[in-house]
Structure 1
Amino acid sequence: MNVQISKNSLVAASKVSGTYVYNLVGEHLGQVEDVMIHKVDGQVAYAIMGFGGLLGIGEKFHPVPWSLLKYDTEQGGYLVPLDKDTLMKAPSFGRSELTEDDTLWRDEIHSYYNVPPYWS
C-alpha cells in the first residue's frame, strides 16, 4: 500500500474525538468518542462510538475497527460501510469494560464486523 503524505495528513487523537461518522449514503451515524491505540506498536485499533444513556449514565460504547473508517474530506468526517441498524446491534460495552483486558471483547468485535484483526 502506498500512503500519500500530504499537508494535514496527520491528526491529533484529541481532534478525532467528536468527528462525525457517516455511512456510505451520507447518513449521520454518530461521532467518535475516543480512539483505542495499541500501547506497543502505536497502531490505532478502534474508534469508539457512544450511543444511548442520559447525560453519560447508561451509555454503551461501540468499538469499531479502525480499518473500517475512511476519512472523507468533503464530508469532514469518517465514512463506514455500515448502516445505523448494524451499528446499533453491534457489541457494546461500558467504559470500564473497554479499559480492561481487550482480549475479553476484541475477537467478538472483529467477528461481528467481519474484518481481520488489527494484530494479524
Structure 2
Amino acid sequence: MSSTTGLHEMASAAGSGGGEIQPGADAIEASLVTGTSVYNTEGDHLGTIHDIVIGKRDGRVKYAIMSFGGFLGIGEEYHPLPWHVLKYDERQGGYVVGVTIDQLKDAPRYGAGESRWADPDYGRRIDDYYGAPA
C-alpha cells in the first residue's frame, strides 16, 4: 500500500463518525465540545460548554468556557474552567468537574458580550481560583 493510500484510509476512518462523539475516542472536534453538558461530582447539571480557549503560541486547549444561569440567553454568565479539571464521563454524555454551585458563584466569570482574554493576568486568576498549576 502506498503512503498516500494509507493516509487516505486513516482519514476516512477518522472521519467516519459523521460528527458523532465516538465512545472511547481520545480526540474530538471543538464544534462537538460546544453545547456539551457540564455536571459536578454530585450529578448536578451546572451548564454547557459555550466555547474553548486555545493558547495562541502552543496550540493547547487552556480553558473551557461554561455558560451558567440565565434564561434563553438573558442573564447568562460565562465561567472559564481550566481544561484539565474537566473529565469526560461517557455514562452522562458530558464533562464532570469537582465544583459546587456555591463555588461557581464566587468564581471568575464574565457576562455576554465581554471578554477578559486581553488581560494576561486573567488566566492566572482562573488557575489560582481552581488551584490549577500555571
TM range (shorter): 0.7 to 0.9
Q: Structure 1 stretches of 5 or more lacking a match?
A: 1-5
**Deviation per residue, 1:46-69 (Å, 9 max, x gap):** 000123445445532111100100
CA RMSD of aligned residues (A): 2.0
Structure 1 position 80 matched with structure 2 position 97: yes
Moved over 6 A (4+): none
Alignment of 1:115 with 2:127, yes or no, is no
Equivalenced residues, count: 111
User: How big is the shift at 1:82?
Assistant: 0.8
Residue of structure 1 equivalent to 2:20:
none
Percent identity (aligned): 48
TM-score (norm 2): 0.73
- 1:7/1:62 CA distance change after superposition, 3 Å: closer
Which of 94, 97, 101 does residue 115 from structure 2 map onto? 97
Q: Distance in 1 between matches of 2:39 and 2:119?
A: 26
Answer with 1 or 2: which has the greater Rg: 2
What is the match of residue 24 of structure 1? 41
1:3 maps to none
* Structure 2, gaps ≥5 residues long: 1-22
TM-score (norm 1): 0.80
Q: Which residue of 2 aligns with 1:106?
A: 123
Secondary structure in 2 matching 1:96: coil
Go from structure 1 to structure 2 and tell me whether the alpha carbon gap of 1:19 and 1:64 turns closer, same or farther (over 3 Å shift).
same
Give the 3 Å change call, closer, same or farther, for CA 59–29 of structure 1 in structure 2. closer
Greater relative contact order (Cα < 8 A, sep 6+)? 1
d(CA) in 1 for partners of 2:103 and 2:56?
29
Q: Distance in 1 between matches of 2:54 and 2:34?
A: 13
Q: How does 1:6-45 map to 2 (within 5 A)?
A: 8-45=25-62
